[in-house]
Amino acid sequence: MRRGIMAQHSYTVTGNLVADPHYRQTGENQGVCKFRLGASRQRRGEDNVWYSVDQVWLNVECWGPLAQHARRSLTKGMAVIVVGTLVTHSWRDADGELQSYMVVKASHIGPDLNRYLTNTVVPQHAVVQADATAEMPDASTDVSQWVDSSSYKPEDVDKELAAVGAAGEVEEAPF
């Protein structure tokens, strides 16, 4: 029997940010980004109206470059897909009672493309694997030229879709 090795099960959830993410610097070029995610299933009622059921509220945290990218890319209301490990943090309170909460330690975060059109900005330090004949981005590009989506709001999606002739009704996020 092998000891000391524990399976790390991947957990994937889609949902909406219920508030803007919070970023905290933890060291030089290191930080943590935390946010709360609301997720639910949609079910059509007898009145033919869609309802959110089985709602769950999750704390999500990510570290390092993912944290830096999340803080620049995510805003309240955004629909995202999060992949990570579900873990429990435990401690004893002042009365000695055991307290705990669960958190998703994210390894991947992305926009839910059912709700968004996106552009991609590749950081200089990222490794890009592409066709050898493809044109590569200029390595001299500095981060001041990145697109900062921190002012992007989900309601802007209709305007952007209209510009490309794909506008339609977009349900308002329930959060």
41 is a domain residue: yes
Question: Which DSSP letter does residue 66 get?
Answer: H
Tell me phi and psi for residue 149, to 5 degrees. -90, 15
Residue 139 lies in a domain: no
Q: What is the pLDDT of residue 155?
A: 53
The verdict on residue 68 lying in a domain is yes
Alpha-helical runs (H) found in the chain: 64-73, 157-163
Residue 120 resides in a domain: no
pTM: 0.64
Check which CATH number belongs to the domain holding 100 and give it: 2.40.50.140
Task: Give the per-residue pLDDT at 6.
Answer: 58
CB atoms within 10 A of CB 62: 26
pLDDT of residue 8: 72
Residue-level pLDDT at 167: 45
At residue 42, the pLDDT reads 87
State how beta strands 30-44 and 79-92 pair: unpaired
Q: Does residue 49 fall inside a structural domain? A: yes
Per the structure, the count of domains in the chain is 1
In a domain, 47, yes or no: yes
| Rounded-to-integer distance, Cα 78 and Cα 144, Å | 24
Q: What is the pLDDT along the chain (175 residues), one digit of tens a residue?
A: 455 555 578 999 999 999 999 999 998 878 999 999 999 988 999 999 989 889 999 999 999 999 999 999 999 999 999 999 999 989 999 999 999 999 999 999 999 998 888 777 777 665 555 454 555 445 554 545 454 555 545 455 455 545 544 444 445 544 4
Q: Which amino acid is at 9?
A: H
What residues form DSSP beta bridges with 43? 51
CA distance 1 to 3: 6
Residue 40 sits at φ, ψ, to 5 deg, of: -160, 165
With contact defined as beta carbons under 8 Å apart, do 175 and 38 qualify? yes
Identify the domain containing residue 36 by its residue range: 10-111
The rounded distance, in Å, linking the Cα atoms of 61 and 72 is: 15
Which residues have a Cβ under 8 Å from the Cβ of 40 and sit 6 or more positions away? 15, 52, 53, 54, 55, 56, 174
How far apart (Å, rounded) are the C-alpha atoms in residues 161 and 58? Answer: 30
Pairing state of beta strands 30-44 and 50-63? antiparallel
Residue 22 within any structural domain of the chain: yes
Q: Is residue 15 part of a domain?
A: yes
